[in-house]
Amino acid sequence: MRLLLFNLATDADDPVLGFTTRWIHALAKQVEFINVITMRTGRVEVPANVRVYSVGKEKGYGEARRMIEFYRCLFQVLRADGVDFCFSHMIPVFTVLAAPLLRSRGISIATWHGHRQVTNILKAAHYCSDRMITSAPTGYRYKHDKLVIVGQGIDVDLFSPNGTPMEEPPLLLSVGRLSPIKDLGTLIRAVHLLRRRGHPVRCALVGAASETDQPYIDSLQSLVRELELDATVQFAGAVRNEQLVPWYRNCFAHVNLCPTGALDKAVLEAMACERPSLVANEGFRETLNGWGERLLFRHGDADDLAEKLDRLLQMQHSQRAAMSADLRKNVIAHHNLEHLAKTLVGTFEELAGL
Residue of 40, 37, 21, 24 whose CA lies nearest to 80: 37
Domain ranges of the chain: 2-153+336-352, 171-334
Sign of CA dihedral 20, 21, 25, 31: positive
How many other C-beta atoms are found inside a 10 Å radius of the C-beta of residue 79?
7
Query: HEC string of 2-49?
Result: EEEEEEEEECCCCCCCCHHHHHHHHHHCCCCEEEEEEEEECCCCCCCC
CATH of domain 171-334: 3.40.50.2000
Q: What phi and psi, each to the nearest 5 degrees, are found at residue 279?
A: -140, 155
Q: What is the CA radius of gyration of the chain?
A: 21
Indicate the length of the chain as a whole number: 354
Cis peptide before 180 (omega within 30 of 0): no
Strand 85-89 and strand 50-54: pairing? Answer: unpaired
Decide: 19 and 241 in contact? Cβ < 8 Å. Answer: yes
Residue of 10, 49, 14, 43 whose CA lies nearest to 28: 49
Q: Give whole-number Cα distances, 279 to 259, 284, 305, in Å.
A: 9, 8, 9
Q: How far apart are the C-alpha atoms of 23 and 38, rounded to whole Å?
A: 14
Q: What is the pTM of this model?
A: 0.94
Q: How far apart are the C-alpha atoms of 200 and 267, rounded to whole Å?
A: 23
Q: What phi and psi, each to the nearest 5 degrees, are found at residue 62?
A: -80, 180
Q: Name the DSSP class of 353.
A: T
CATH of domain 2-153+336-352: 3.40.50.2000
pLDDT above 70 as % of the chain = 100
Instruction: Print pLDDT tens along the chain (354 aa).
Output: 999 999 999 999 999 999 999 999 999 999 999 999 999 999 999 999 999 999 999 999 999 999 999 999 999 999 987 899 999 999 999 999 999 999 999 999 999 998 888 999 999 999 999 999 999 988 899 999 999 999 999 999 999 999 877 778 999 999 999 999 999 999 999 999 999 999 999 999 999 888 898 999 999 999 999 999 999 999 999 999 889 999 999 999 999 999 998 899 999 999 999 999 999 999 999 999 999 999 999 999 999 999 999 999 999 999 999 999 999 999 999 999 999 999 999 999 999 997
Residue of 316, 166, 317 whose CA lies nearest to 246: 166
What element of type H or E holds 70?
A: helix 63-80
Q: Please indicate whether the domains covering 2-153+336-352 and 171-334 agree at the CATH topology level.
A: yes
